């Protein structure tokens, strides 16, 4: 902004009321737009995580800021390619955004480990939204479709949008034998269940006996099935946590929540899909996420094998899926 002649006085005024959300970040290479309309000099930044843009302006010696809803035009880009090197770099040859490549991995994350299971030359397809304002490409939107050959088998996933997230679904789903529904709406895993992981804070190798869901702060955390709250509260490592015992004898653990639903207490029964609290970063935590774990007969087991990726219990989602089908 200084390069565009916003002086200290302008900056003071422009940032007097902070319009930027805490989560806002500029990434290197991110575009911004400069407009000069009849002496009003404007700089506009697009928020890549939400559908907002932020304007800072100056005119003479005064300055200010405002939030704008961009008028996006969305087109769908279709990509077909082959995996040469890693899947991520293969996707990046067609799509210039790592998030899209990560999202592609997310689409299969409950059933496959694409980092390990893909063969060289495997073909993939995807459809992704691209958002434009006027003639300018601003950002990629949601990954709508993902397809990849895994050991000769063609596997497809379609994105279903929820009011607060979404999931990737498969027509030939075979997750019915999984007892639990997902504890959160999106399914980006930042850490998988493993007996060997370098601890992000302390640095030494330590098992990670749960599954980390990367979620925005404040996202709802749901009970994966009905059951009785064994314990809930706050401790140093887990932060705000809940432990539920289910009818099948399994226990589910939810750690690092920002807040717990104040109407709940130990001993209460909860329904499947009931909100337990909000995602956060309490306890030993560096970035908002849900640490989710399952205990079976006193031992932690890999949750990924117990959880359905698609929350069928939340009926409003099914409607939206049907609507998408018609297009
Ligand atoms: Zn964890």
Give the mean model confidence (pLDDT) for residues 136-147: 92
Give the mean model confidence (pLDDT) for residues 47-53: 84
CATH of the domain at 239: 2.70.70.10
315 domain-assigned: no
Ligand 1 centroid to Cα of residue 49, in Å, is: 24
CA angle (84 as vertex; 79, 90 as ends), nearest 5: 40
219 domain-assigned: yes
Ligand 1 centroid to Cα of residue 255, in Å, is: 8
Mean pLDDT over each residue of the chain, to the nearest integer:
87
Q: Are residues 184 and 301 in the same domain?
A: yes
Ramachandran category for residue 249: left, alpha or beta (phi over 0 → left; psi -120 to 50 → alpha): left
Boundary residue ending a domain (143, 169, 195): 169
Ligand 1 centroid to Cα of residue 8, in Å, is: 44
Q: Are residues 187 and 289 in the same domain?
A: yes
Ligand 1 centroid to Cα of residue 211, in Å, is: 6
Q: Which of 51-55, 157-161, 211-215, 243-247 has the lowest mean pLDDT?
A: 157-161
CB 46 within 8 A of CB 70: yes
The most confident of the ranges 114-118, 122-126, 139-143 is 122-126
Ligand 1 centroid to Cα of residue 175, in Å, is: 23
**Residue 12 pLDDT grade (very low, low, confident, very high; cuts 50, 70, 90):** very high
* pLDDT (0 to 100) of residue 109: 85
185 domain-assigned: yes
Boundaries of domain holding 286 = 180-308
Ligand 1 centroid to Cα of residue 104, in Å, is: 22
Among positive and negative, which fits the CA dihedral 194, 200, 202, 203? positive
Domain count, the chain: 3
CB 238 within 8 A of CB 281: no
**What is the rounded distance in angstroms from the CA atom of residue 231 to the CA atom of residue 260?**
12
pTM of structure: 0.76
Ligand 1 centroid to Cα of residue 234, in Å, is: 16
Ligand 1 centroid to Cα of residue 210, in Å, is: 5
**What is the rounded distance in angstroms from the CA atom of residue 195 to the CA atom of residue 185?**
26
pLDDT at 224 over 80: yes
pLDDT digits (tens, 9 = 90+) for 176-210: 788 998 898 877 787 777 776 666 666 667 788 99
* pLDDT (0 to 100) of residue 65: 94
Ligand 1 centroid to Cα of residue 185, in Å, is: 17
314 domain-assigned: no
Ligand 1 centroid to Cα of residue 9, in Å, is: 45
Q: Are residues 187 and 165 in the same domain?
A: no
Q: Are residues 194 and 295 in the same domain?
A: yes
* pLDDT (0 to 100) of residue 198: 63
Residue 178: C-alpha distances to residues 65, 171, 227, 261 (Å): 50, 16, 16, 26
**What is the rounded distance in angstroms from the CA atom of residue 52 to the CA atom of residue 274?**
30
Ligand 1 centroid to Cα of residue 51, in Å, is: 30
Report the 10 Å Cβ neighbour count for 306. 20
pLDDT at 227 over 80: yes
Q: Are residues 286 and 248 in the same domain?
A: yes
* pLDDT (0 to 100) of residue 311: 61
Ligand 1 centroid to Cα of residue 181, in Å, is: 18
pLDDT digits (tens, 9 = 90+) for 261-315: 999 999 999 998 899 999 999 999 999 999 999 999 999 999 988 998 766 555 4
Nearest CA among 52, 44, 43, 42 for reference residue 21: 52
Q: Are residues 45 and 112 in the same domain?
A: no
Residue 185 is given by DSSP the state S
Ligand 1 centroid to Cα of residue 212, in Å, is: 5
CB 280 within 8 A of CB 256: yes
Give the mean model confidence (pLDDT) for residues 150-170: 83
Give the mean model confidence (pLDDT) for residues 82-90: 92
Ligand 1 centroid to Cα of residue 48, in Å, is: 26
* pLDDT (0 to 100) of residue 256: 97
pLDDT over 70 percentage in the chain = 90
């Amino acid at each position: 902004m200084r390069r565009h002649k916003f002086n200290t006085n302008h900056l003071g005024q422009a940032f007097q009321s902070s319009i930027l959300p805490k989560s806002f970040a500029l990434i290197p290479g991110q575009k911004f737009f400069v407009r000069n309309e009849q002496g009003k000099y404007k700089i506009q930044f697009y928020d890549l995580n939400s559908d907002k843009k932020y304007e800072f302006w100056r005119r003479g010696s005064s300055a200010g800021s405002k939030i704008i809803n961009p008028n996006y035009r969305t087109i769908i880009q279709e990509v077909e390619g082959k995996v040469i090197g890693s899947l991520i770099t293969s996707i990046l040859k067609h799509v210039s955004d790592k998030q899209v490549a990560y999202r592609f991995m997310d689409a299969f994350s409950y059933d496959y480990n694409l980092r390990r299971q893909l063969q060289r030359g495997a073909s993939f397809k995807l459809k992704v939204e691209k958002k434009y304002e006027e003639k300018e490409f601003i950002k990629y939107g949601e990954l709508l479709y993902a397809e990849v050959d895994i050991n000769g088998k063609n596997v497809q996933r379609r994105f279903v949008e929820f009011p607060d997230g979404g999931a990737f679904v498969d027509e030939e789903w075979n997750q019915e034998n999984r007892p639990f529904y997902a504890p959160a709406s999106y399914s980006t895993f930042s850490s998988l269940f493993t007996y060997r992981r370098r601890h992000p804070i302390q640095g030494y190798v330590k098992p990670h006996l749960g599954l980390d869901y990367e979620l925005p702060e404040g996202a709802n955390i749901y009970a994966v099935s009905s059951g009785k709250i064994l314990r809930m509260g706050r401790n140093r490592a887990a932060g705000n946590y809940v432990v539920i015992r289910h009818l099948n004898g399994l226990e589910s653990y939810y750690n690092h929540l920002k807040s717990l639903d104040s109407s709940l207490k130990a001993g209460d029964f909860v329904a499947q899909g009931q909100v337990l609290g909000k995602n956060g970063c309490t306890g030993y935590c560096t970035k908002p996420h849900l640490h989710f774990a399952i205990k079976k007969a006193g031992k932690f087991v890999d949750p990924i094998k117990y959880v359905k990726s698609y929350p069928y219990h939340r009926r409003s989602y099914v409607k939206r899926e049907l609507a998408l089908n018609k297009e």
